[in-house]
Amino acid sequence: MSPRQASLPSLNLDNVAVMRGNRMVLRDLSVAARSGDIIWIRGANGCGKSTFLRLVAGLLAVTSGAIHAEGRIALADENLALDANVTLEAALRFWADMDGASADARDAALTDMDLQDLAHIPVRFLSTGQRKRASIARVLTSQADIWLMDEPYNGLDSASCARLDQAMLAHTASGGIVLVAAHQPPSINVAHSLLLDKQGAAT
């Protein structure tokens, strides 16, 4: 599906802790993800799932411990990051250019998420579920090795959920890694799940 680098993607977190303000939001986290893994991150509201994904994405600094990621990372969080006033296709093209992705990859991503009919509609007119699909399409277009998906099922209808599962399966089948934070268990096989407790520790 996507061109792989010479080395297989991998992700290792070694005893990571994160302080924000005066509060320890994540601690004692050790994760090892290998090529082909889907890891389900679960836990109650506010336990640090999104913080964990932002940490892996490199948007937060670790307070102690170490993170080592091999491969390019793509993040789909609650922010769409697509320009509201241009068409969906043009908004995706901007990120495709940033990632050096081809027009074919962009079209394939639109088709995978069943967005081809919406390609010429300005992003601001998209519904909640359509926006979610658009942000997933942005990740698909990036052809990154490691996908970080924050609540990707929110607002998706069952057909779209199946499409997302299909895309994640295809990604891992071709050697990628997916970290998915969700309350519902993904309907696909996950390599292992990471349960965060109220104190942000893995249990």
Partner 1 sequence: MKSFVALVAREVRLAWTGGGLWLPVVFYLAVATLFPFVTGPDKALLARTGGGILWIAALLATLLPIERLILPDRQSGVLDQLAVRGWSDELVATAKIAGQIVAFALPLLLATVVGAALIGLPEAQLGTLLIGLAMALPALSGLSVMIAALTAGLNGASALGGLLLVPITIPLLIFGAGTLAEDPGNAMQLLAATSLAITALSPFAAGAALRAGRI
State the residues that interact with partner 1 by CB under 8 A. Answer: 20, 54, 57-60, 73-75, 77-85, 94-95, 97-100
Q: For residues 125 and 143, give the distance between their C-alpha atoms in angstroms, rounded to a whole number.
A: 26
Nearer residue to partner 1 within complex by CB, 67 or 188: 67
Give least dist CB 77 to partner 1, A. Answer: 7
Q: For residues 18 and 151, give the distance between their C-alpha atoms in angstroms, rounded to a whole number.
A: 21
Nearer residue to partner 1 within complex by CB, 80 or 108: 80
Give least dist CB 97 to partner 1, A. Answer: 5
Give least dist CB 109 to partner 1, A. Answer: 15
Nearer residue to partner 1 within complex by CB, 61 or 159: 61
Q: Which residues contact 7 (CB under 8 A, 6 or more apart)?
A: 70, 71
Q: Please give the sequence-ordered ranges of beta strands (E in DSSP) within 34-181, or none if there are none.
A: 38-43, 64-70, 73-76, 146-150, 177-181
The number of beta carbons lying within 10 Å of the beta carbon of residue 79 is 9
Nearer residue to partner 1 within complex by CB, 14 or 83: 83
